[in-house]
Amino acid sequence: MDRESVRPARTADIPALKRLWAQAFHDEEAFLSLFFTEAFSETAAFCMEENGGLVSALYMLPCEMEAHVPKREGLALGYLYALATDEAHRRRGYMGRLLRRAKEEADRRGFAALFLIPAKPSLFAYYERFGYTLRRSIISTDTWEAQEENSARLCFCTGMEGLYPKAFAEERGRRYLACVKSLTEDAAARLPETLYGAIPV
């Protein structure tokens, strides 16, 4: 009988996490090493283990949405990143269990919402099954005009500074469709239609 468990990812899991990531996204080793050196945290990564082997994982990176109104606090958000399941272990409900575990942790940490950017349109319906709605845009930028209607600046977590500056420069203005799951009534009311993603410097 298969033994399955959801647990926080540990530093000792990094070699297995890298293999899973490379299989799913084909990123180069240099990028993976940078991510796991600068942005990985045992408090913000979860994995599925089957018979002692790591078969699925996701990362929940903290972000903050700057307030629309001066002197009002921003919203703490969680960015679900690099969600992946080993090809031989898909369609077993493993990612669904990880999404539920991530929500539990987001609630515990007081996040107002979770969001993710699906790798392909066919995944939108999948995430809707877990309460995510497709109604926001993430735009790569290094500037944001506060007066733009129904928009806000999204500041990614510390630790991401070295990962994406080149990508953001090359893709400035590119629009990504995001799936968002509001965890509080305040978030549901305040999340704008457009978020401008910015790396802290």
Convert the pLDDT of each residue in 83-103 to its tens digit: 999 999 999 999 999 999 999
Q: How much is the pLDDT for 110?
A: 93
pLDDT for res 150: 65
Q: pLDDT tens-digit profile of 26-76?
A: 988 988 998 898 889 998 899 999 988 999 999 998 888 875 545 456 788
Buried b (16+ CB within 10 A) or exposed e, 181-191: bbbeeebeebb
Instruction: Please write the tens of the pLDDT for every residue from 139-186.
Output: 665 555 554 566 677 776 555 555 554 444 555 566 677 888 999 888
Task: Say what the pTM is.
Answer: 0.84
**Residue 61 to residue 70: CA distance in whole angstroms:** 25
Most confident range, picked from 13-17, 128-132, 182-186: 13-17
The pLDDT of residue 108 is above 60: yes
| 3-state DSSP assignment of residue 55 | strand
> Domain residues of the chain, as ranges?
4-198
CA angle, corner 21, sides to 18 and 24, nearest 5? 150
Architecture label for domain 4-198: 3-Layer(aba) Sandwich (3.40)
For tokens 């926001």, name the residue. 136
Query: What are the backbone angles phi and psi of residue 186, rounded to the nearest 5°?
Result: -60, -40
